[in-house]
Chain A
Amino acid sequence: MKREDHISKLSEIPKKDVLNPPAGYMDSLDERILAKIDGQGQSTGKGFVWYGAVAAAVALIFSLSMLLKEGEMASPEELLAEVSDTDIAHYLEYSDLSVYEIMDELGTLEIETEESVLPELDLSDEELEMIMNKYDISG
């Protein structure tokens, strides 16, 4: 084999799986997966997380729509400055939108008012998951 500092071709490097699990990891993996699946049959609290994310999104959209209603077209920076850091962090945590995408949306799209947004938020967990998956695929 060539000296390591002279290797320039992939074919000169021995193919080796170096990212292996710690010893014994695989022995307990089956059990942990099956236990998690059993646990999912009961209430997991996942819905609470989803609703928390939706609540944060609603707070964000509502705050922005209220600002727009006041008549002045504020800049995206000004709009975001009015929303609490917690709401933004929570929203970003559970959404696949990047800040750049949000800024872009603010610059081009009309933000929906409270009346037009709220009735549509009566969604099941499955519907919410579908929406999130859709963003993941297109992201």
Chain B
Amino acid sequence: MKEITKSTLLDSLKDPTSRQKAFTSLVSLYKSRVYGVVRKMVIDHDDADDVVQEVFIKLWKEIDRYRGDSELFTWIYRIASNEALQFLRKKKRRMLFSGDYREVLAQHLDNAVGMDGDEIQLKLQKAILTLPDKQRLIFNFKYYEELKYEEIAAITGTSVGGLKASYHHAVKKIENYLVK
């Protein structure tokens, strides 16, 4: 992934006089990617909207803590991943006695804008939903975002070996679901 404006953007983010303007650029640059990562995890658009806004609010609050020792997108994706996983944990907990939250996510898939009656895509999404949340996150980063294992490792704090094993296992599980 290109970090074309990284150094200037970072300098501007660190400077209180230009911070607001730089942050507006950051939102504009990353909103689609952050939405994509979050939406694939929480599935429902309204939930994704809430989480995406939380991600950027957190980024704003934590700008001073970002030291520039990792890529900017790594830091952003890390916060987006954590917020999405945290949202799912809360959702799971709220639904502890009322049903399986994965079934609810699957129902959102059935009604999702953009599916356009594409049965195989819907089946693929449902197959991905059978994965545990963190494995689903890893799968999405590798398959959809086409990130390198090293990049995913920096985002998730998991070893490259562990990520490879997780991804290949995820692909197997998905393919098993597809032939059902």
Chain A residues packing against B (C-beta within 8 Å): 4, 7-10, 13, 15-22, 25-26, 29-30, 32-34, 36-37, 40, 92-93, 96, 98-99, 136, 139
A-B contacts counted at CB < 8 A amount to 94
Asked if residues A36 and B113 are in contact (CB atoms below 8 Å), the reply is no
> Which B residues are in CB contact (< 8 Å) with A8?
175, 178-179
- Please report the C-alpha to C-alpha distance between residue A10 and residue B174 in the assembled complex, in whole angstroms: 8
Asked if residues A18 and B36 are in contact (CB atoms below 8 Å), the reply is no
- Please report the C-alpha to C-alpha distance between residue A19 and residue B40 in the assembled complex, in whole angstroms: 7
Asked if residues B53 and A34 are in contact (CB atoms below 8 Å), the reply is no
Closest 3 CB pairs of A and B: A20-B114, A4-B120, A33-B56
Return A133 CB to nearest CB of chain B, in Å: 9
Chain B residues packing against A (C-beta within 8 Å): 23-24, 27-28, 31-32, 35-36, 39-40, 43, 45, 48-49, 52-53, 56-57, 60, 82, 86, 89-90, 93-94, 96, 112-116, 118-122, 124-125, 143-144, 171, 174-175, 178-179
> Which A residues are in CB contact (< 8 Å) with B49?
25, 29
Option from B28, B96, B116, B119 in Cβ contact (under 8 Å) with A98: B96
Classify the secondary structure of B's interface with A. helix
Asked if residues B53 and A32 are in contact (CB atoms below 8 Å), the reply is yes
> Which A residues are in CB contact (< 8 Å) with B48?
21
Option from A21, A32, A96 in Cβ contact (under 8 Å) with B45: A21
Asked if residues A40 and B175 are in contact (CB atoms below 8 Å), the reply is no
Asked if residues A26 and B144 are in contact (CB atoms below 8 Å), the reply is no
Asked if residues B175 and A19 are in contact (CB atoms below 8 Å), the reply is no
